[in-house]
Structure 1
Amino acid sequence: MPNQSGRRIVITGANSGLGFEATKAFARKGGEVVMACRDRGRGERARDEILTEVPDADLVVERCDLADLDSIEAFADRLQEAYNELDVLCNNAGVMAIPYRETADGFERQFGVNHLGHFALTEQLLDLLAAPDAESRVVTHASEIHERGEIDPERLVSRIAGEDAKHSYDKWDAYGRSKLANVLFAYELNRRLDDAGMNVTSLTCHPGYADTNLQRRGPKLSGSAIRERLASLANRLFAQPSERGSLPLLYAATAADIEGGEYIGPGGLLNMRGYPERQRSSEASYDRELARKLWRISVELTGVSYEFDSHTTSA
């Protein structure tokens, strides 16, 4: 990982798991990290923990709740006031296989947080990412579970908003759908950035099987202590440490030979562990018509419209 001095990185979900490990790694290499956290108190405790290991870390904690479009807008407004440019946006935060919940805006929570929240955030930070002379990146954290994800554009809105979403809910189907949306978004964003001639690239990555709180959160919210303990046991037996799980994200964000539109994941056993490499995502993720339809639906649901022409650089 090259020196990150002089670079400013935004990481969502920076207070725990892979986001915490990535924040620590960037800080060790001299980067300035804006820790975007749903709970400011947890973010500050995470920052203090990193400072015990990296005393000169340049860390800023900001509240950003990806389940609330107003919170996302307020966060982006604060960054617009504080900074002139950003070098990397890591769309990392997420929820996995939780019981049915809704966001503040009435969306099924997994799709709302994992995809729609990051879709809105990326647009609202695009001016900072596209600052003159910058060569910035947007890295969206996906999952191998995206391979089981299915998106039917004709039914998508009914499955993520309103009563139909609740009645047809399957937590793993919902998670797979949100992760497929992450990959489709990352690729479509890169194509649109390229068409607009912008100096921003978009790519996606997955961590393999990494030991984080994600596996335990679903059982905990369901009130199942047994499944929570089983998830913890499975993590200890089979998962790679979260430090290793953060490597694809770090590689995607910093490697000199990386290109937009790539998919990075661990190259070891069953792509569950090991060092990062370029990989191929699911066939559905390369469906450009599906990506365009998802983009239009995401604009309609969030009210956020990417005005690429206004961001286009002179180059």
Structure 2
Amino acid sequence: MKKQYWTGRDIPDLHGRTAVVTGANTGLGFAIASALAQHGADVVLACRNGDKAAAAADRIRIVAPGSVVRTLPLDLASLAAVRASARQLHDEYDHIDLLVNNAGGLRRWYWVTEDGFESTMAVNHLGPFAFTGLVLDLMAGVPGSRVVTVASKGHRQATIDPADLNPERDRKYRFPTAYHRAKLASLLFTYELNRRLEAGGSRTIALAGDPGLARTDGGRDMNWLIRVALHPKVNPLVLALSQSAATGALGPLRAATDPDARGGDYYGPPGRAQRTGHPVRGASGGLSHDVDLQRRLWKESERLTQVSF
């Protein structure tokens, strides 16, 4: 009987291709980078913590013998650091085939970066926006090159005002609200980027992959009580309603490698809940497809980061 679902076995041979995965030292990013390496790609782990990135690279080399795995320092909460990382990538590579914008996360407490950005918006959208813009020239003219955003179903619960990406400065900060808003921004950016690439006749496409409800350490900044309550060994409901990081990584991996993927595609778990399961081509929430909103956010992101594509 013909298999009806997409798995890691469907990843094609990637020898000769170079992939940059942000936040790849743990969780989803590690699972994505490891799978790419096991299928032949040269992988760059772009991470804030150099020691953890080096340890992750060693672990990948064990499961993917002979693979080329390197590290790149990348702190998305600092535009100066983002620019330095982009320069280093240019120094070390003449092209890249794949950029997976995976790094992100949320903070329990309100925090403003050195650039004056609310931190959750900075690491999930403004930092990746700037980094993508600064390295996109390395993908120009590369057949099959892709920019993949790791999405979250939480974007469906969000609204956003591009003129005010830090609405909590004067009132109570709620970290789920901030996270969902930032993930909506990521998708608005992805779709606007793809439209601009198509209009310019680029060979590069932009698309998104949703991991569903995956068990990762994305809540490591939460207090111990929340971390314990969300631990699958403590809470059987969490175990029943979620999936492993390796399975969650399949959505972004399909976006990154499926030969039939098209620019603007969105891959994630099937069904109404979209929490678990093998990835299918689906659709993100309606607000993410608002073209006017995409354009306004793009313009404001360029202004704030001083990065023009």
In 2, the alpha carbon distance for the partners of 1:205 and 1:11 equals 13
What are the ranges of 5 or more consecutive residues in structure 1 without an aligned counterpart? 307-315
Instruction: Tell me the CA shift for residue 104 of structure 1.
Output: 2.6
Query: Per-residue deviation at 1:133?
Result: 4.5
1:247 to 247, 250, 256: 250
Quote the offset at 1:170 in angstroms: 1.5
Q: Percent identity?
A: 40
Question: 1:86 is matched with which residue?
Answer: 96
Determine whether 1:147 maps to 2:156.
yes
**Residues 31, 166 of structure 1: alpha-carbon distance in 2 compared, 3 angstrom cutoff:** farther
Specify the SS of the correspondent of 1:232: coil
Q: In 2, distance between residues paired with 1:279 and 1:231?
A: 27
Residue ranges of structure 2 left out of the alignment (5+ in a row):
1-10
Alignment of 1:15-164 (within 5 A): 15-96=25-106, 98-130=108-140, 132-154=141-163, 156-159=164-167
The answer to which structure has the higher helix fraction is: 1
1:205 aligns with 2:209: yes
AA matched with 1:277: V
Q: How does 1:182-261 map to 2 (within 5 A)?
A: 182-214=186-218, 216-219=219-222, 224-233=223-232, 234=235, 235-261=238-264
Provide runs of 4+ in structure 1 moved above 4 Å: none
Tell me if the contact between 2:97 and 2:142 (Cα under 8 Å) persists in the aligned partners. Answer: no
From 263, 267, 283, give the equivalent of 1:264: 267
Q: Is the 8 A contact 2:46 2:71 kept in 1?
A: yes
Query: CA–CA distance in 2 between the matches of 1:200 and 1:22?
Result: 20
**How many angstroms does 1:49 deviate by?**
1.6
Amino acid at match of 2:62: T
CA distance in structure 2 between the aligned counterparts of 1:53 and 1:232, rounded to whole angstroms = 26
Three-state SS of the structure 2 residue aligned to 1:270 is: coil
- C-alpha separation between the residues in 1 aligned to 2:290 and 2:272? 27
Once the two structures are superposed, residues 36-81 of structure 1 have per-residue CA deviations (whole angstroms, 9 ceiling, x without a partner) of: 0000011001111222222212100111001111111111111111
Residue deviations 1:208-250 (CA, integer Å, cap 9, x gap) = 0000001x3242xxxx322210011344343201000000111
In the alignment, residue 232 of structure 1 is paired with which amino acid?
H
Q: What residue in structure 2 maps to residue 312 of structure 1?
A: none
**Residue identity in the other structure for 2:22:** T
Question: 3-state SS of the aligned residue for 1:146?
Answer: helix
Task: Kindly state the Cα deviation for residue 165 of structure 1 after the two structures are TM-superposed.
Answer: 2.0
Flag the 1:124–1:95 CA change in 2: closer, same or farther, 3 A.
same
1:165 equivalenced with 2:169 (yes/no): yes
Tell me which amino acid in the other structure corresponds to 1:169: Y
Q: 1:174 aligns with which of 154, 161, 178?
A: 178
**Aligned residues of 1:98 and 1:217 also touching (Cα < 8 A):** no
Partner deviation per Cα, 1:89-146 (whole Å, 9 max, x = no partner): 000001135321222312111100000011001101111011x353310001110000
Pairs aligned (count): 295
SS in 1 for 2:231: helix
Normalized against structure 2, the TM-score is what?
0.92
Measured on the aligned residues, the alpha-carbon RMSD in Å equals 1.5
Distance in 1, matches of 2:145 and 2:170, equals 38
What is the CA-CA distance between 1:276 and the residue it aligns to?
0.8
Change (3 A) 1:179 1:8: same
Task: Tell me the amino acid that sits aligned with residue 275 of structure 1.
Answer: H
